[in-house]
Structure 1
Amino acid sequence: MTAQQDIFNVGTFVGRVWNPSYAGPCLVVLRNGRLIDITSKTTPTMRDLLEREDAADYVTRADGRELASLDSLLLPSADGQNLQTMHLLAPVDLQAVKACGVTFARSMIERVIEERAAGDPDLAAKIREKVIAIVGNSLRNLKAGSAEAAKVKEALIEEGVWSQYLEVGIGPDAEVFSKAQVLSSVGHGADVGLHPISKWNNPEPEIVLVVNSSGMVKGATLGNDVNLRDVEGRSALLLGKAKDNNASCSIGPFIRLFDATYSIDDVRNAELRLKVEGEDGFVLDGRSSMKEISRDPLDLVSQTIGRHHQYPDGLVLFMGTLFAPTEDRETPGQGFTHKIGDIVTISNDELGALTNRVRLSTDCSPWVFGPSHLMRNLAARGLL
């Protein structure tokens, strides 16, 4: 039994599987290493499941039939998105896919550098050295919106290193943006995509909160908020182009529902690991600790959903990352950037591991199954 399997033996895990027999998705729960189809008229979608007050209790007692072993769908596959084969999907469906940026004060520096370098990786090292000389270790445990954060902001401005990223990084209001379209996220084992115009980019390992329409956090999963550093660095107005492309958002492998074994406090204390393995033999190991986040996860949720903004089908919210890709891959001073064929694994002891292969967005399987297709598929199966 693998460590990944051991993780799934504790807690309540739900997900989505593409079932070629239905030419559509099934809602599944993990039980003893088996994936059980619990799709029904009362819970045809993950959205419907998460609207239930008793979601965790419901899935533990729900009737269903076995679809596949966990092993068979966690193993890497060359045709992971082939619609003729059963495979894991992103574990969310009708939820809006939102993300928070610059939530870790230390990683904020990398955003400032990207902007000051205007997307040119050759300038990054010199700018990084200057900024770190100004702030030193003052960013550790810095809380956004605090008096201490205001002092750091003032010091950076005085040294001529002002950036709009300072405002959202350590000011009172968080950055929240749309990461991907409904149903466009890919799951474990799929390819993730880089827009072909990007030459400086990186993975972003993140915890993703799963929130229902009333703003209640129902669980958590892992995500890769693929980042195009050069595109966003040229202009913050290119954020949409930098973030939302074919296969540029990966979520999974499963949602761990909040229950007696797992809660928001586990999210607050989560340690994430990142491994990038290149076909060229390059290996990068990184980490991101939620203990160092500058804003509490529930504060980020309340800034996203509430009386000011409703999400009738709920949402998922990327929490941001501490990971700063400063290790040089080839050219000194340019830091890390992806190469086609990289294998990216984001893992956490309580949520499992999310693995994807890097390709160009133009070479990844096109997104062809949207909300209208889902509704027609469920209706044809008598589930609506």
Structure 2
Amino acid sequence: MRYYQPSAGDDSRLCVKTGGNAYDLTSANQNIREFRDLLRASSIADLTIDEVTERLIENLDPLDEDGEIEGLPLVADEVWAAGVTYQISEQAREQESSMPDMYLNVYDSNRPEVFFKATPSRVVGPTEDVGIRSDSDWDVPEPELAVVLYQGEIVGYTIGNDMSSRSIEGENPLYLPQAKVYDRCCSIGPYVRSADSLEDPHDLKMNMEISRDERILYEGETSTAEMVRTVPELVDCYTKHNAVPELSVLLTGTSLVPDDGFSLREGDVVDIEIDDIGTLTNSVTTV
């Protein structure tokens, strides 16, 4: 099942796509207006979110809509991210950095790199603008499989864009927070695929397309099978010895990196698609 919010703002409601149809869960129960509400209901009922949903849609008619999704599928209390989980990410970090050996050590080490990425105010949804810093001259999107956690447990998957300043991080690894954490530094959506309905998060095709003035500048494709870490391993590192919030998102690492000569500009459009989840589209603005 894929959960989404078709619109943003006060008129938001939680919907689901399943079996080729879409249903408005809020119309079945006005207390379920966002993904967090469904998670709390499933916890109280001791059922999975899909089991709760099956009961809610029993007497509902399918929706007759196929428009653009504008709302965030969930508002996470915090977003974290993992780094150097794909070989291409290790190579890119080495090329940009004045201290390349440190990234090789992370890629081969027992402990993965996990770092804080964003608060809710820094996260945007589908169709919104992601940001590039005005004090950076080398900026890229980073397409990632994102894990959704409720009370530290995996409940679903979505798509994440970990916007990054390669020039700032490359200048000094200690500048990583400035390269990663800023206004509009992260986007997620448009759907949350329930964990129970996704057969294998380690075997998903992923592709990214970047266009400028309707001209494609970059196209790339990969698979989560290329990830050197497993999802449970990354989640364990994030949650261990850490008071995680009720609802959080963990990005699992960069799988596609544009060539060194490429940098995003204001007005560019980034499309990230992951099989069985959807396509996340964002335009770019300067912050």
TM-score range, shorter chain: 0.7 to 0.9
Q: Which among 255, 268, 281 is matched to residue 322 of structure 1?
A: 255
Take 1:338 and 1:358, find their aligned partners in 2: how far apart are those partners? 8
Partner of 1:26: 13
CA distance 1:284–1:200, shift in 2 (3 Å): same
Partner of 1:170: 108
Partner of 1:13: 2
Aligned partner letter, 1:248: C
Q: Which among 222, 242, 245 is matched to residue 312 of structure 1?
A: 245
Partner of 2:237: 303
Counterpart contact for 1:35–1:69, Cα < 8 Å? no
Partner of 1:181: 119
Partner of 2:128: 190
Take 1:226 and 1:67, find their aligned partners in 2: how far apart are those partners? 36
1:21-65 per-residue CA deviation (whole Å, 9 max, x = no partner) reads xx2643222355545142857545423423524111112322598
Residue 285 (structure 2) pairs with residue 359 (structure 1): yes
1:185-226 per-residue CA deviation (whole Å, 9 max, x = no partner) reads 21111111111111111111110011111x321111111111
Counterpart contact for 1:92–1:183, Cα < 8 Å? no
Deviation (angstroms), 1:249: 0.7
Take 1:292 and 1:272, find their aligned partners in 2: how far apart are those partners? 11
Take 1:208 and 1:226, find their aligned partners in 2: how far apart are those partners? 14
Alignment: residue pair count: 279
Take 1:93 and 1:66, find their aligned partners in 2: how far apart are those partners? 27
Aligned partner letter, 1:285: E
CA distance 1:65–1:191, shift in 2 (3 Å): farther
Partner of 2:162: 225
Partner of 1:47: 36
User: Match of 2:97, SS?
Assistant: helix
Counterpart contact for 2:203–2:223, Cα < 8 Å? yes
CA distance 1:224–1:66, shift in 2 (3 Å): farther
Structure 1: gaps (5+ residues)? 1-11, 75-87, 117-160, 327-333, 362-384
Counterpart contact for 2:144–2:162, Cα < 8 Å? yes
Structure-to-structure mapping, 1:74-223, within 5 angstroms: 74=69, 88-116=70-98, 163-213=101-151, 215-223=152-160
CA distance 1:241–1:43, shift in 2 (3 Å): same
Deviation (angstroms), 1:172: 1.2
Aligned partner letter, 1:355: T
Aligned partner letter, 1:225: D
Counterpart contact for 2:25–2:56, Cα < 8 Å? no
Structure 2: gaps (5+ residues)? none
1:323-345 per-residue CA deviation (whole Å, 9 max, x = no partner) reads 1222xxxxxxx421112211111
Counterpart contact for 2:3–2:191, Cα < 8 Å? yes
Aligned partner letter, 2:115: F
CA distance 1:167–1:60, shift in 2 (3 Å): same
Aligned-residue identity in percent:
30
Partner of 1:72: 67
Counterpart contact for 1:190–1:356, Cα < 8 Å? yes
Counterpart contact for 2:21–2:63, Cα < 8 Å? no
1:89-110 per-residue CA deviation (whole Å, 9 max, x = no partner) reads 2212143211101111332011
TM-score, normalised relative to structure 1 = 0.66
Q: Which among 29, 49, 61 is matched to residue 55 of structure 2?
A: 61
Aligned partner letter, 1:59: T
1:239-259 per-residue CA deviation (whole Å, 9 max, x = no partner) reads 222112222211011101023
User: Match of 2:198, SS?
Assistant: coil
CA distance 1:94–1:339, shift in 2 (3 Å): closer
**CA RMSD of the aligned region, Å?**
2.5
Partner of 1:262: 198
Deviation (angstroms), 1:280: 7.2
Deviation (angstroms), 1:69: 5.2
CA distance 1:103–1:70, shift in 2 (3 Å): farther
CA distance 1:186–1:68, shift in 2 (3 Å): farther
Question: Which structure is higher in strand share?
Answer: 2
CA distance 1:115–1:162, shift in 2 (3 Å): closer
Partner of 1:147: none
Aligned partner letter, 1:71: D
Take 1:224 and 1:262, find their aligned partners in 2: how far apart are those partners? 20
Aligned partner letter, 1:203: P
Take 1:290 and 1:281, find their aligned partners in 2: how far apart are those partners? 27
